[in-house]
Amino acid sequence: MNRYLLLAALSLGIAAPALAQHEGHGTIQTPAPQAPAAPKPAPQTPTPKTPVPQPQRAAPAEPHAQHDHGGKPAAAALDPHAGHKMAEEFVDPPEAGNDVPPDAPAEFAADRFFGVDDMNRARGILRDEHGGALTYKIMGDMIEYRSQDGEDGYAWNGEAWFGGDIDRFVIKTEGEGGEDIESAEIQALYSRAWDHVTDLQIGIRQDIEPNPSRTYLALGFETVLPYWFEVEGALFVGERGQVLGRLDGNYDFQLTQRLVLQPRAEVNFAAKDDAAIGLGSGLSDAEVGLRLRYEFQREFAPYIGVSWERKFGDTADYARADGESAETTSFVIGLRAWY
């Protein structure tokens, strides 16, 4: 019995270290958790720059530019005159307008349905309404009250015409006065367009005042100079051999669409004295005015302004002898209207 207990104790003493070593090798070692690695930054793509357009230059001709990819000659290379043909087609096109125009139609469709008289009348109306129409205009350029040296006065200047673009019949009148009419005249003229801005005129001028009245042959013109200066001139030949001259002009400064400032000037000449009507030779008189008008409509424009008049030479002497002043300055209020 003792022998068996001894053998068992020896067996346990030998087996215990082996079991301990076996348990150490059999245990699964779990590694400690590690922090996740930081992600690598994504590679940056450079922002493309907007290319600056450069002037295109013609590429130099290549030796093989006339051949296609297959090595065959291009069509332009086969025709030695192809370049000349293209130059004639695009560089030097044929002139236009050299073809012979077709003959004017001798028959019209409307003639089949309407009589000859009706068609002739209709064609006449068509011609009149496209350049041959007759029209008219009545214009009071200056209709004004004048206050000068405490005295009241008035003046007028206007015209009316009837006709077409080329030929017209024109009536002109102007004058001035105070208690009585001091000067007044009327002209009846035939007007003919010389070009698109100038009319030539011929007719009769009749002076109503002063007495004794005078009658003249009138030769004149109306024109528009560059920058829209309106100018009129006339030569008057009297029955007694008297020769008079007149030149006047004006210009419109368009301050606004409705407000217009107009300077105006007129000068008169005489070839010799006419004591009966108080007219001296040379520069007889002149008038310079400045008027500001407001155009409620183009056809209706009241105005205010100032006018300066001066007589010269023997004409001034005749005026002083009659108790009149040779120089006057007037404040004016008036109306410019036309129909």
Work out the average pLDDT over 118-146: 89
**Where are the alpha helices (H) located in the chain, listed in sequence order?**
2-26, 75-78, 82-90, 116-127, 313-321
What is the pLDDT, as a whole number, of residue 37? Answer: 52
Window from 79-93, 179-193, 229-243 with minimum mean pLDDT: 79-93
Given CA atoms 120, 124, 127, 130 in this order, what sign does their dihedral have?
Answer: negative
pLDDT above 60: residue 292: yes
List pLDDT tens digits, range 308-317: 999 999 999 9
Q: Degrees (nearest 5) of the Cα angle 31, 34, 35?
A: 170
Strands (E) in the chain, as ranges, are 135-148, 151-163, 167-177, 181-193, 198-209, 215-225, 229-238, 243-250, 253-254, 259-270, 282-294, 300-311, 327-338
SS3 sequence of 48-101? CCCCCCCCCCCCCCCCCCCECCCCCECHHHHCCCHHHHHHHHHCCCCCCCCCCC
CB 332 within 8 A of CB 307: yes
With bands split at pLDDT 50, 70 and 90, how would you rate the model's confidence at 40? low
Cβ 260 vs Cβ 301: under 8 Å: yes
Among 1.10.443.10, 1.10.730.10, 3.30.360.10, 2.40.160.40, what is the CATH number of 135-338?
Answer: 2.40.160.40
Under 8 Å CB-to-CB from 271, ≥6 apart: which residues?
242, 243, 244, 281
The one-letter amino acid code at 158 reads: G
- 315 CB contacts (<8 Å, ≥6 apart)? 270, 278, 279, 280, 284, 285
Specify which residues 203 forms β-bridges with: 189, 218
Can you tell me the mean pLDDT for 235-249?
95
- What's the confidence (pLDDT) of residue 296? 97
Closest CA to 174 of 238, 283, 264: 264
Cα 303 to Cα 177, 251, 254, 290, 338: the distances in Å are: 20, 15, 14, 10, 14
Domain limits, the chain:
135-338
Q: Which tens digit of pLDDT belongs to each residue from 52-103?
A: 555 555 554 444 444 444 444 444 445 555 555 554 555 555 566 678 888 8
